Amino acid sequence: MKTENREKELWQHILDDVRAQGFVGSYGMESYLSKLTLIKDTGTKLILEYPEELLIDWVEVNYADYVVNSASRVLNGARTLEFIKAAPAEQPAPEKEEPQAMLPLEFRSTESTPADEQVEAPSSSPRARSSKRKPSARTSHFNSGLNEDYTFENFVPGSNSEFAYAAAQAIVEHPGALYNPLFIQGDCGLGKTHLLQAIGNAIRAKDEDARVLYVTSEEFTNSYIDALPNKGAGLKKFRDKYRQADVLLIDDVQFLAKKGKTQDEFFFTFNALFSSKKQIVLTADCPASEVVGMDARLTSRFEQGLSVSINPPDFETRMAILRSKSKQWRSDLIDQDVLRFLAENITRSVRRLEGALTCLSTMAAFSHSRPTIADARAQLRQFMRDEPTSNLSIKAIQQSVADAFNLRVADLNGRRRTAAIAHPRQIAMFLARHHTGSSLQDIGAAFGGRDHGTVIHATRTIEKKLETDPDLRAIVSRLRAELSA
């Protein structure tokens, strides 16, 4: 009972934090989050139980990120979420079984399933439960930070990622001996984190004594900052945590840029692991040589192993991903022509592609009908808003932005960095990044020969400002409307 009370109290603290952040309204709190029950905190994962009638896909798409962020604050450490369905109340056996193949797994009733044939999500489902092994004495107190749902089995490789996929699998067979470090680069939402954690999960499945540690570069930075006040014991604990790992997986290493002291600490950690033949795998959103503000010593070490790329998936791969997810969720509510529409119109991000499928599946479950292409077009505008427009050129964007700010296109392409020019230039780069199919290198070249990192910085700057600056949102919205006219 004490444990139940503890979990109940802990969950209430998390919900209070979610409510305090102001992103989830009273309707979302009462209708969805309050109906979840915290069953267990494993140290890396919160296991949440939901009633059968709750649309858990809707919760995951709309509220899971807020729960994860609040849990991290309340518990002083990152947690992933696992959702399990509450056991249904006992009911008389039905006289006749009704097939339910039309509904995704999360929306099916279990009433027609015999007691000895309980339906569970296949092992590759995002919510599948992994088989649990008792940790060895060496790893029982070692928090890996891994999400057990990220596996090789539910990663769909294509021509865009087959080399990275093969290299990742090779590392599992010989960690520390081949491709050390492995550097995986690609844009956001293409599967870098999935592949990175799949390596860690596969190594742990093969060797339960292996100390596998997954962290983002932000978590590494925060751990280092937290260790500084108590330089003796704090730094020793910090260094032991990272340097005792057998496999170190660092996500989004580009965020170490311009953090001089943190880079120094990571440099020594890298050297300690590398000299001990421990496996290091890194991800970034650009090649190592193009991370602006990265110490040359680190860049050279990142490049000494194997660098592989994950590119936007081609049409065939996007279709394979959609079919795979539909199969994992046991849903045939979405017709093939609608899947084809998604694959043709959402091209930049695998994450966005999966989100669009989840949205349509949820809508279909609500309405008990198959969505048409017209339904998909109407419901998924936010998913397709930033997709490239084939007939839109960088020059057209430059001209529109220059006109809006009473500048010349030559000003945007020149070397002057005054605020009156730099800000419109960043807007133009942002629009080119989101509304043309041009590569980062091509965009940089079109703006006076600037590099890949400058385009990334400009895009992130505008994306961040759009969250808080209504005037900028109005300008960008007007420019988008003019360009799409």
- DSSP character at residue 46: E
109 CB contacts (<8 Å, ≥6 apart)?
52, 88, 100
pLDDT tens figures, 314-357? 888 888 888 888 877 656 678 888 888 888 888 878 888 888 88
Backbone dihedral region for residue 125 (phi beyond 0: left; psi -120 to 50: alpha; all else: beta):
beta
Q: Collapse the DSSP code of 3 into the 3-class scheme (helix H, G, I; strand E, B; otherwise coil) and give the result.
A: helix
pLDDT tens figures, 411-453? 999 988 888 899 999 999 999 888 776 777 788 889 998 887 7
Q: pLDDT value at position 91?
A: 52
Q: pLDDT value at position 404?
A: 92
Residue 22 has pLDDT above 80, yes or no: no
Residues 390, 467, 185: CA angle, nearest 5 degrees:
55
Stretch 1-21: mean pLDDT: 82
CA distance 322 to 353: 8
Q: pLDDT value at position 130?
A: 38
Q: pLDDT value at position 138?
A: 52
- Percent residues over pLDDT 70 in the chain: 84
0.85 exceeded by pTM:
no
Distance between start and end Cα atoms, the chain: 63
How confident is residue 397, by pLDDT bands cut at 50, 70 and 90?
A: very high
pLDDT tens figures, 209-234? 899 999 999 999 999 998 888 777 88
Residue 57 has pLDDT above 80, yes or no: no
User: Which of the pair, 106 or 455, is modelled with greater confidence?
Assistant: 455
Which residue in 146, 286, 270 sits closest to 213, CA to CA? 146
pLDDT tens figures, 256-314? 988 989 999 999 999 999 999 999 999 998 888 888 789 999 999 999 999 999 988 88
Kind of pairing between the strands at 279-284 and 247-251: parallel
User: Which of the pair, 410 or 139, is modelled with greater confidence?
Assistant: 410
How confident is residue 29, by pLDDT bands cut at 50, 70 and 90?
A: confident
Q: Which one-letter amino acid corresponds to residue 124?
A: S
Q: pLDDT value at position 132?
A: 43
CA distance 84 to 46: 11
Which residue in 166, 164, 263 sits closest to 220, CA to CA? 263
Q: pLDDT value at position 172?
A: 92
